[in-house]
């Protein structure tokens, strides 16, 4: 009914979307991939004057461009997986020395951040280089055909950890990348996901501010509908369940001071998350219990860290 008057109750997230979307409307991401929302969200919040460096990954075909043409209006520097953070270091140092006020964003998947480029990521964190490192975690090498990475959780089915008579998915546990980077005592480390966009926008703005002085790390949970076996419409729903079950808690650490940005009062059992994703569909009760214990342990560590009332900032 056109004549019916409705009060406009827009979500607060729209206040953070201050800049235009620099991407073309039709870009070649899979339908329903939360990564597409993520790459559009970062420049919408941080501004179109950021410089993105990235590696071969799901985001590269779009961010790098094809046939000499570009999908977006941002500056992008494509580099190798073994030297992602080192390249960003060079760019950030150049802009600092030249006196150009710009933010360098190193935008990589979990394969680069946790496995192949972990050495130089750790090095850049230790040297406290002034840029933002964003790792979007889809828990595997999705672009090359869904191989397992070190952030793949226990029991997940991938093409290198298949389910059969000898093997039942990944039999190892995942690496907690956010916590590992926070332990480098960097100025800012945080986790975020796409179901809590307001929280995510706040963290991006904070990272942009702090990255003028030091290293910022953002660990973003981004499910993969193709690789995980989810219907295309459940991308955001899976993100929300991951937060509600404490599978992916939302926290931030500023100068070593940990705090939860969204504390779940009554966490749901991991079973509710597991049943949404087909890569866990073979898990038995005992195997789900192993995953639950892993999640509980990681949460307990974070909880203890958040209770500490101590900081360790670097003197100016």
CA distance 111 to 1: 50
Instruction: Tell me: does residue 226 bind another protein (CB under 8 A).
Output: no
Q: Print burial letters for 18-54: b (CB count within 10 Å at least 16), e (below 16).
A: eeeebbeeeeebeebbbbbbbbbbbbbbbbeebbbbb
Tell me the CA distances in angstroms from 156 to 115, 135, 247, 314, one per residue in order: 17, 20, 14, 39
How big is the site for another protein, counted in residues (CB under 8 A)?
A: 54
Written as six digits, the tokens of 21 are 């979307």
Kindly state the smallest distance separating residue 238's Cβ from another protein, in Å. Answer: 11
Contacts of another protein in 193-212 (CB under 8 A): 194, 197
The reply on whether position 135 binds another protein by CB under 8 A is: no
Contact 114, 150 (CB under 8 A): yes
Compute the distance between CA of residue 316 and CA of residue 298 in angstroms, rounded to an integer. 33
- What is the pattern of x (binds another protein, CB under 8 A) and - over residues 93-112? -------x-x----------
Pick from 45, 46, 74, 283: which binds another protein (CB under 8 A)? 74
Asked if 266 touches another protein (CB under 8 A), the answer is no
Residue 7 touches another protein, criterion: CB under 8 A: yes
Backbone angles phi, psi at 240, to 5 degrees: -65, -45
Near another protein in 16-35, by CB under 8 A: 21-29, 31-34
Q: Which of residues 144, 232, 281, 284 is near another protein by CB under 8 A?
A: 232
Query: What are residue 53's DSSP bridge partners?
Result: 77, 106
Which residues lie near another protein (CB under 8 A)?
1-2, 6-11, 13-14, 21-29, 31-34, 36-37, 40, 48-49, 51, 65-78, 100, 102, 194, 197, 231-237
């Amino acid at each position: 009914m056109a004549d019916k008057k409705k009060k406009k109750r827009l979500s607060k997230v729209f206040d953070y979307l201050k800049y235009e979307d620099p991407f073309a409307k039709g870009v070649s991401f899979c339908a329903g991939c939360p990564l597409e929302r993520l790459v559009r969200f970062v420049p919408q919040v941080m501004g179109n004057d950021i410089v993105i460096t990235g590696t071969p990954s799901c985001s590269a075909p779009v961010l790098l461009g094809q046939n000499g043409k570009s999908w977006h209006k941002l500056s992008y520097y494509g580099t190798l997986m073994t030297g992602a953070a080192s390249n960003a270091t060079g760019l950030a140092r150049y802009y600092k020395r030249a006196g150009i006020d710009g933010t360098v964003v190193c935008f990589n998947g979990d394969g680069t951040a946790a496995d192949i480029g972990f050495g130089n990521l750790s090095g850049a964190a230790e040297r406290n280089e002034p840029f933002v490192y964003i790792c979007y975690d889809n828990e595997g090498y999705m672009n090359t055909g869904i191989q397992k990475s070190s952030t793949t959780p226990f029991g997940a089915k991938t093409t290198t950890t298949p389910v059969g008579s000898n093997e039942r998915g990944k039999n190892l546990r995942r690496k907690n990348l956010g916590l590992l980077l926070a332990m480098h005592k960097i100025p800012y480390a945080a986790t975020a996901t796409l179901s809590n966009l307001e929280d995510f926008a706040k963290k991006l703005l904070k990272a942009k501010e702090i990255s003028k002085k030091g290293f910022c790390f953002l660990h973003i949970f981004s499910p993969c509908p193709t690789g995980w076996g989810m219907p295309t419409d459940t991308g955001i729903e899976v993100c929300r369940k991951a937060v509600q079950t404490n599978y992916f808690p939302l926290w931030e650490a500023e100068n070593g001071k940990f705090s939860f940005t969204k504390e779940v009062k009554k966490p749901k059992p991991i079973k509710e998350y597991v049943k949404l994703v087909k890569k866990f569909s073979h898990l038995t009760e005992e195997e789900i219990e192993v995953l639950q214990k892993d999640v509980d342990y990681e949460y307990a560590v974070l909880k203890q860290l958040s209770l500490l009332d101590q900081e360790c900032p670097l003197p100016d």
